[in-house]
């Protein structure tokens, strides 16, 4: 079984053109401001496989727009900015001042907290993932789109053990969040079948 892969919106110019076709009601000016803010904040940050980080941010928008059918501008802006507080020196207050309280709140929900000096990072991460069970519907869509972008090409991750742990985490924590969201339920079910070889005890795929 194959699964749908997103990633044609490699840059803002392409994304802007596609948005004008598939979602003309969405303000490309406002989204463009968010992309510029994110690009400046993330700088030369790369994804694990080496792609510019902005490609991930635009993939999340593409999943929401082309996959789920989202047209809420605040949610799409939050998709562009979802990692700026966690991964850069930008603050939640900066996000709120520039893009509004809804965007600030949703970005806050998906920002993993930094472990304290005496805290186990794995425990902190686990608590964060469990907290998403009580998240607003918009946050669930945002987090599911974020994770789908991150795992849709999981075999390109350079560390095999990370592939397995990320697969297990996605199945345990993220897939249950998709219950009741038909597009994500189907997308993650297809994705899981494509990556069954990463389950504990599974045989390696043959060429």
Catalytic residue (one of 39, 87, 94, 138): 87
190 noted as active-site residue: no
Residues 6 or more apart from 123 whose CB is under 8 A from it?
A: none
Alpha helices in the chain (DSSP H): 12-22, 28-42, 53-62, 73-81, 84-87, 92-99, 101-109, 121-131, 137-151, 160-169, 182-194
Distances in Å between the Cα of 60 and the Cα atoms of 1, 54, 124, 156 are 23, 10, 24, 18
Which residue out of 39, 72, 74, 86 is catalytically annotated?
86
83 catalytic per annotation: no
CA distance from start to end of the chain: 16
Give the active site residues: 86-87
């Amino acid at each position: 079984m194959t699964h749908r892969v997103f990633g044609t919106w490699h840059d803002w110019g392409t994304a802007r053109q596609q948005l004008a076709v598939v979602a003309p009601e969405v303000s490309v000016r406002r989204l463009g401001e968010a992309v510029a803010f994110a690009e400046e904040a993330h700088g030369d940050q790369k994804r694990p496989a080496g792609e510019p980080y902005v490609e991930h941010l635009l993939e999340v928008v593409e999943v929401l727009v082309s996959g789920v059918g989202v047209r809420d501008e605040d949610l799409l802006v939050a998709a562009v900015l979802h990692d700026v507080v966690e991964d850069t020196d930008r603050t939640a207050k900066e996000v709120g001042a520039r893009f509004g309280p809804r965007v600030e709140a949703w970005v806050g929900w998906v920002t993993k907290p930094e472990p304290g000096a005496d805290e186990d990072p794995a425990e902190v991460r686990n608590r964060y993932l469990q907290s998403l069970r009580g998240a607003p519907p918009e946050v669930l869509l945002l987090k599911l789109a974020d994770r789908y972008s991150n795992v849709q090409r999981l075999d390109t991750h350079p560390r095999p053990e990370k592939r397995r742990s990320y697969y297990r985490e996605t199945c345990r924590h993220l897939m249950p969040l998709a219950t009741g969201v038909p597009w994500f339920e189907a997308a993650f079910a297809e994705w899981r079948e494509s990556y069954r070889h990463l389950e504990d005890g599974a045989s390696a795929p043959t060429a």
